Chain A
């Protein structure tokens, strides 16, 4: 018997950490208590997108979207909504843009402005149930490919679609398939790159957790197209839920003849194995990843030979990113023309982005390529919280750059971002507001690359360290204008002489911030100030005499006894020479009397 109501419970990683399981259990018991078990069906889905608002429930047929649900709300939802048909208003999403409560999911700008292709099943089906995947058209593309398409035809479709790799560089996927198909080898391998190492990127995670069969289906189609019998899905160890759901999906596919010796009774054989990463960022680079699959240290090697000629165990290997794989079944089913009708001429299709940082709606979104940053941030993302001003958008992680607020109308595609000195990268979008220091951000990324350099080549290993120490000097207020020139020189050398993409792109965050925010660098070196008040050495904590109520909390909180005062006798004072800028006083003050002021600590003053 079909159910009267379908209740989708988001079980993406963020909602899981917000205790979605407790909500599910509470709903389950309330449903049973009201005798609705046969009428209401609970489905646990992958990530629905708006992670910050979790746990999230979506109730069909009406499409009511509940946010920040707690186990205590379960009874009310079941009684009022499921039983009496009156959605619980106080838990529905109040769309900040429309200033109204959305009765339906599709009324919310966050969803309305998206176009879900790759993520079409994420948040709508139970990722642990193969039948649900099949019910939404899953494995149809594979059936079509195996029975009605020749391998060459499939490669042609992917070529014609102009799909570009979603792992960062945007290399034409069809071309890669063609190279791998033509390469000679005893055996060929298919690899899924699920290392997703860029901090601030969690798109691949959402897809692996929310629709694992889509990735497996894409890989299987490619295996048939290039003549491979074995595949590896490389997932980072930090994603245990993704690994678990993939294991379930692989077992189910094997049991149903969708993986293994005789797929869909066509005689075609293909199987996949999961390989778990071990915490090295450089392993996202394809040659390092291959070394890691082989059980070695994940060190990149020079290309050529490219993996399509010599990859896993020296054999021709086709390696694509998770999201790239997720596109394949749609392209095979709906055709290259359909795919090219979405997005832009040079970058067709959609792109999944992970929004985080200073943005109202953090989470996962999918939009057509060519969508502007403004649409992404203001309309879908709900703008910057706390009335702050947008300063920049960081894309492409440690290999990327910062796009300043004045370029917010730039359409997002591979070329436009590159022109701005940024980089599409894998889809992490980190929004920065007026409180962020761009020099500090550049330093942060350089520190990351420096830590993650595998050490194989000198420019990357030593060069990034030298750049980092210059940046440290600058954020300490000891930099000079000459330092800026030196940064530029070092950056150019590292870029042109490093072996792999990690080193080659490591200077990008510095270069792009020096280009767009040069005045901030100059401010740090010329006046030793940080107007964003982020650089520790360039700020002071002070107590506002008028606001201080002498409650004594700050004095108790200070770990170094830098604060002096007597309870009940305001104001208190902070001894600058003792203060270590830990900010505890700022955190504990109930009256906002502790202020952060720009300006260097006096005893630190150094000439130059």
Chain B
């Protein structure tokens, strides 16, 4: 398993070895492979792209999309963008926090869910919305939130 991931990482690094300014794109691809960007992966990327390790770390910490902690099986992203805000996103955040017992940025103890709040996922017409992995759920209210969470809990 681990080796398979390492192979994929090496292939990515090879693909980008001649590309100009590849760091952000390589980090994206690496995060797809590992689910997050652990320190040893960052080190390998730095060494292979011949970029100072501190630069890699600086880039990883600058962008909110990059994670340095493993994430749960499902990523729940609650939109707190303006359209969702005026349609009560705050309440949705409260509901989900309470239902899962975790705060944004945290992962549930059983490793099933990671919660994060995001700024607008471009589905404002359906506000308030959340995204679970790549699926968008719109026009949320308490009932819909509960039904949706159940869908994933019982899966």
The chain A residues found within 8 Å of chain B, CB to CB, are 13-14, 16-18, 51-52, 196-202, 205, 237-240, 275-281, 292-299, 313, 354-358, 362-364, 394, 397, 428, 430, 432, 436, 441, 444-445, 448, 452, 454, 559, 582-583, 587-588
Contacts and interface: CB of A to CB of B under 8 A. Distances in A.
Interface in B100-148: 118-127, 129, 134-138, 141-142
B82 A200 contact: yes
Nearest to A236: B122
Given A17-B136, A280-B63, A202 B25 contact: no
Interface of B: 20-25, 27-28, 55, 58-59, 62-66, 80-87, 91, 94, 98, 118-127, 129, 134-138, 141-142
B135 to A, nearest CB: 7
Given A17-B129, A278-B65, 7 more contacts: A199-B83, A199-B124, A202-B123, A278-B64, A296-B23, A354-B125, A356-B124
Given A278-B66, A430-B83, A363 B122 contact: no
A356 B123 CA distance: 9
A292 B64 contact: no
Given A200-B81, A292-B24, A237 B124 contact: no
B123 A17 contact: yes
B62 A280 contact: yes
B77 to A, nearest CB: 9
B102 to A, nearest CB: 15
Contacts of B21: 293-296, 313
Contacts of B121: 238
Given A295-B59, A582-B94, A313 B20 contact: yes
A232 to B, nearest CB: 10
26 contacts: A13-B122, A14-B126, A16-B136, A17-B123, A199-B120, A201-B124, A202-B120, A238-B120, A278-B63, A280-B63, A281-B119, A295-B21, A295-B25, A297-B62, A357-B82, A357-B83, A364-B125, A430-B82, A430-B83, A430-B86, A436-B86, A444-B82, A445-B82, A448-B119, A452-B119, A583-B94
A17 B135 CA distance: 6
B136 A275 contact: no
A52 B139 CA distance: 9
B138 A14 contact: yes
Nearest to A445: B82
Contact of A356 (B20, B125, B135, B141): B125
Contacts of B118: 238, 279
A432 B86 contact: yes
A520 to B, nearest CB: 15
A363 B28 contact: no
Contact of A14 (B59, B120, B123): B123
Contact of B119 (A199, A294, A313, A559): A199
B87 A357 contact: yes
B148 to A, nearest CB: 12
Contacts of B138: 14, 17-18
B88 to A, nearest CB: 9
A386 to B, nearest CB: 12
The 3 A-B pairs with the shortest beta carbon distances in the complex, nearest first, are A51-B125, A199-B81, A17-B136
A354 B126 CA distance: 12
A200 B126 contact: no
A414 to B, nearest CB: 21
Contacts of B80: 199
Nearest to A299: B62
Contact of A394 (B27, B58, B82): B82
B119 A363 contact: no
Contacts of A397: 82
A292 to B, nearest CB: 6
Contacts of A198: 120
B104 to A, nearest CB: 12
A33 B138 CA distance: 32
Given A16-B136, A297-B59, A202 B82 contact: no
Contact of A200 (B66, B94, B124, B141): B124
Max chain A Cβ within 10 angstroms of own Cβ: one of B27, B62, B136, B142: B62
Given A238-B122, A357-B87, A430-B83, A295 B28 contact: no
A278 B82 contact: no
Nearest to A49: B125
Contacts of B85: 199, 444
Contacts of B135: 17
A18 B136 CA distance: 8
A289 B120 CA distance: 19
Contacts of A278: 24, 27-28, 63-66
B140 to A, nearest CB: 11
A179 B56 CA distance: 34
Contacts of B142: 587-588
A201 B120 contact: yes
